[in-house]
Amino acid sequence: MDHHCPWTTNCVSHTTFPHFIRFLFYACTSMLYLFNLLYPRLSLIWSDRHLPAYLGPSALQLAHLFLLTLTNTATLFVLSILLIRNIWCLAVNTTTIEGWEIERHRTLVRRARFFGGYLDGPDGVKMRIAHQEFPYDIGIWANFKQGMGTANVLAWFWPFAKTLGVEGGLEFETNGFEERGATWPPPDPDRLTRKMPKGFDRDAEAFTYLDEGLSNEETVAAFRERQERDAVRRRKPFADRLEARVVKEKGGLEEDAYDAYDGYEDDEGEDGEHSGEEGWRNSEGERLRDFGVDEDAEFYDEEDDVPLSELIARKRKEQGTPS
């Protein structure tokens, strides 16, 4: 799935993506044609602006022309950006969600490099985080053929082209830059489950109802306060968390103050290590799991970000094929 489109009342996916590209292309083409019809009228009105008003269009006609031009221009601008973006996604063979995954993975790699290649995982486990290439970018032409369902360029523009079959949406060709069996997306320590659920390793807190002695109004107020704290905790920038961690290691913060400042809940394993490392979020504080994305973990060797053309050249050299 790429995203849900309210304008087409449907999900843009492997089967409907070619239709969505055609929809954007013909919508932009139609609005360009409409603008071509509006421009002579606007130009004539502007050139005759010094003539008496009764020689020109009525106030209602002027208002209609102005609103139509404004709406057409704004919509054309927005859909043109969307069309260009989706053509780029088609060229690199990524969906909207995969683009977020790539950005999140790069963020985790940058953080891991600061801590020597490791981040805190559940139950105090140190997880190795290293760079992994996006596996489904198989070259621009191959990406276009796969995304549009055919190598016939004329068929890409045919409005009545058939919908792609769902049988082709389960397995996709990979570029072979990673080891066989490597999965995408790469691991995120914050998405791995604990061996022991929170609270079960602490008898004093397991199955404890903290609001037992509060009235109904106080219970609601306490719940809303926890909601606000949780919203702040989930959106705490990594830089603030890192600063708090450094201050704590130097002995500048008490444990409770560190938990509040750093954004962690008091969730420690037997070795005292905090469980969970904050992963990537978008500008609204949402995680990929909020969109129903399930992620597997696979470990890999780190390598600097290398352009696809260079990786293809290396692969051909290893296979002994001419470039």
Neighbours of 183 (CB within 10 A): 14
Neighbours of 149 (CB within 10 A): 19
- Please say whether the beta carbons of 1 and 13 come within 8 A: yes
Which residue is listed with tokens 């989706």?
86
CA distances, 188 to each of 211, 253, 263 (Å): 33, 28, 17
Question: Residue 113 and residue 301: Cα distance in Å, rounded?
Answer: 13
CA distances, 243 to each of 211, 237, 248, 252, 259 (Å): 33, 10, 9, 11, 12
- Please say whether the beta carbons of 157 and 268 come within 8 A: no
Q: Which member of 5, 11, 28, 89 is catalytic?
A: 5
Q: Which two tokens stand for residue 321?
A: 């094929």
DSSP 104: H
Catalytic annotation present for 5 = yes
Q: Which residues are marked as active site?
A: 5
